[in-house]
A and B are shown apart, each in its own frame.
Chain A
Amino acid sequence: MKKMENRTNPENFIHAADLRCSYRDENGNRQEILHGVSFDVARGEYVAILGHNGSGKSTLAKLINGILEPDGGTLVVAGKDLASPDVTDDDIYELRRQVGMVFQNPDNQLVATLVEEDVAFGPENLGVPTAEIRQRVDAALATVGMTDYARHEPHRLSGGQKQRVAIAGILAMEPSCMILDEATAMLDPAGRREVLSTVERLNREKGITLITITHYMNEAAHADRVIVLNDGKILLEGTPAEVFAEPEKLMAAGLDVPQCTALVHGLRASGAALEGEPVTIEECADLICRAWEEKRHGDRRA
């Protein structure tokens, strides 16, 4: 697989080299979860992380925003070396302001009794002046399309709306990066679309670095780049087309490919002349259509 040009450059927003992390189990033994992982994420990039349950995806996310500490290797996020012994609490607070996380369960991350108070929670803790908090909250709610719900109770919102409020809460802290840790897993199809289109727009328009951890292969197909973790190591890395061109490796790692990609691979295996690796519905339709037209012309000539 092609390596990205910006690889292993400490100037990148995230630079990880031989990164290791372990937990202590209940018997006090160290269990290593990440066995030396190296990758970079450029500022403004959109990266999807795939991997089976227990592959180390969430551990990686928690390292990036300082919830967990590395046990070895290098991890530089926003210019701070998190593996260094000199990391201070202030560094970690600044890191968490810059890297916001949205978790799986929409009911576990809203804390206030009104939507706007929930969004204000972050900037209040950062000591932002009151007038500016107001501006930030209003702007953040407008960005995620929840202005009309500012004075609603969060627990009465739909799952997709709750996740958008959680995203607004992060936006109000003016982050440079957002990590969605299976943030769409509990949502209905409309909720999934709402959340994804919101963060993808923030990535495009505001240049916020976006990292999505997901079990939905067709969500990963939207990203600029996909990193596949397997048992705490990187198995594959590349564009969605490059990664989904390896269905056997993905299946062996407990994963899958999007339905469109599975169809193209299946047709090719039974002899259809389909070249290329489409990952979206439109790309796939174009490819099949071209093959169909070529075959019709060929038949006519014959």
Chain B
Amino acid sequence: MATVALDHVTYIYGAGTPYEIKALDDVSLTVKSGTITGIIGHTGSGKSTMVQLLNGLEKPLSGKILLDGEDIWAKPKEMQKIRFRVGLVMQYPEYQLFEETVRADIAFGPKNMGLSDEEIEARVKDAAAFVGLDETLLNVSPFDLSGGQKRRAAIAGVMAMRPEVLVLDEPAAGLDPRGRDGILAGIRNYAAATGSTVIVVSHSMEDMAAFCDEIIVLAHAKVFLSGTRDEVFSHADALSSVGLDVPQITHLMSALRRRGLDVPEGIYTVEAAKEALRPLLE
């Protein structure tokens, strides 16, 4: 189980040109080990930059990315090892499928790690199981899969490396509700089975509320809020001031309070709302 932290990290696109954009401005934060942590923020808030910094795809202009307290850029030649430990699933990862079979695609990462054939096969099967991809699909071409299945295969390819930190940038974007639930359940399975730390970027407040232990809010290249899910979503006005929101169900609870119903604050899921309202209506 690994702890990831940013220590005074600044990242600027086009630094020194007239077009420079500060993507992260002196950001320090720690992602709690073994948690599912959500990162939310308006477009351009620095979310995607941050996830690309976490596994060394981008290098901070200043500051450090720490994995278990060690600067991941201390030995740049060993960056590949860092990338095995911090697995990144980028946006629309299904566009990166390229092998002839789903099995070969999922095996690509473990193969690069130099694992034995048996270990690779075991990891491929485990990864497919985590994301709910039927074993019979391992022998077909990834290009014959449906959109949702392709997404699962691509995520399984990163899970097969058993990263201690799994980072996913908008893993459910563009999927229908069932596809979205399947992907989120797969990520939860992986976290439960491996104890890995999971970091998820999303624009869906409803998904984040149902899924995350901790939430980090980025706004204008800085950390705007961070804490447990309940702490963060209790700041509805602050979230809305930076282009974000609370789940629809939370808005409903506020509307009920305005009408005089005695419902508690801090309700972020449909299940919690049901529990709170049942005694008032039965």
Contacts and interface: CB of A to CB of B under 8 A. Distances in A.
B147 A291 contact: no
A55 B247 CA distance: 27
Nearest to A194: B243
A53 B176 contact: yes
Contact of A158 (B43, B177, B247): B43
A263 B263 CA distance: 14
Contacts of A272: 277-278, 281-282
Nearest to B178: A254
Contacts of B42: 158, 188, 190-191
Interface string B137-180: 00000000011100000000000000000000010011111111
B259 A189 contact: no
Interface in B259-280: 259-261, 270, 273-274, 277-278, 280
A188 B281 contact: no
Interface string A35-67: 000000000000000011111000000000000
A292 interface: yes
A295 B251 CA distance: 23
Interface in B232-259: 243-245, 247-249, 251-252, 255-256, 258-259
Contacts, number: 125
B274 A53 contact: no
B44 interface: yes
A147 interface: no
B21 to A, nearest CB: 8
B281 A288 contact: yes
A259 interface: yes
Contacts of B173: 185-186
Nearest to B147: A53
Contacts of B206: 259
Contact of A281 (B174, B251, B270, B278): B251
B177 A215 contact: yes
A260 B43 contact: no
Given A266-B270, A288-B277, A182 B174 contact: yes
A30 B74 CA distance: 56
B43 A160 contact: yes
Interface size class of chain A, counting residues whose CB lies under 8 Å from the partner chain: 35 or more
B176 A215 contact: yes
A218 B250 CA distance: 14
Given A160-B43, A260-B252, A217 B177 contact: yes
Contact of B255 (A187, A255, A281, A295): A281
A158 B148 CA distance: 27
A285 interface: yes
B252 A281 contact: yes
A104 interface: yes
A218 B248 contact: yes
B186 interface: no
Contact of A258 (B179, B180, B248, B282): B248
A186 B148 CA distance: 17
B245 A189 contact: yes
Contacts of B280: 292, 295
A72 to B, nearest CB: 24
A271 interface: yes
B188 interface: no
B205 A285 contact: no
Given A191-B243, A270-B274, A271-B282, A52 B43 contact: no
A233 B205 CA distance: 31
A259 B247 contact: yes
Contacts of B170: 186
Contact of B178 (A52, A186, A267, A288): A52
Given A189-B245, A258-B248, A285-B255, A267 B44 contact: no
Contacts of B247: 259
A127 B245 CA distance: 44
Nearest to B44: A158
A111 interface: no
Interface of B: 41-44, 146-148, 170, 173-180, 203, 205-206, 243-245, 247-249, 251-252, 255-256, 258-261, 270, 273-274, 277-278, 280-282
8 contacts: A52-B179, A185-B174, A190-B42, A254-B176, A284-B252, A285-B255, A288-B261, A292-B261
Given A254-B177, A267-B277, A288-B281, 8 more contacts: A52-B176, A186-B173, A188-B41, A259-B247, A260-B249, A274-B281, A288-B277, A292-B281
List 5 tightest A-B contacts by C-beta distance, closest first.
Answer: A190-B243, A254-B178, A256-B177, A285-B255, A189-B245
